[in-house]
Amino acid sequence: MMAVCADASFVLSNHAATRMAQRSIRRASLELVLLHGTRVKARHDCDEYILSGRTVRHLTAAGLDCETIAAATKVRAIVDAAGNVVTCYHQRKGRSRPFRSNS
């Protein structure tokens, strides 16, 4: 495992590093999502980080690279309670799958 952000608040798991390579997700995009993204509750005591439209406007106004911001808007990151990045993926187009319970 390796630290993702400069302040080492997030740690990249081996699984997440593999998925980043397979899915062509750049480290800069992932860092942008983790540092500036909105945290949303996910399954199994994890959080999902996404970039909202409002955040994108603020980052663009602050002068960050537009290409990196555009790439980061499509990236989602799943982080466990300990701050480990479990996985990351590109946002799916179209209708999302409904939540399925185990009962």
pLDDT in the model for residue 66: 87
Assign 43 a pLDDT band (cuts: 50, 70, 90).
confident
Average pLDDT estimate for 30-51 = 90
pLDDT in the model for residue 48: 92
Assign 4 a pLDDT band (cuts: 50, 70, 90).
low
pLDDT in the model for residue 2: 52
What's this model's pTM, rounded to 2 decimal places? 0.77
44 φψ region: left (φ > 0), alpha (ψ -120 to 50), beta (else):
left
- The overall average pLDDT reported for the chain is 83
Helix 53-61 / helix 27-36 crossing angle, nearest 10 deg: 110
Assign 7 a pLDDT band (cuts: 50, 70, 90).
low
Residue 84: beta bridge partners? 11
DSSP-derived letter for residue 9 is: -
The helix/strand/coil state of 90 is strand
Assign 95 a pLDDT band (cuts: 50, 70, 90).
low
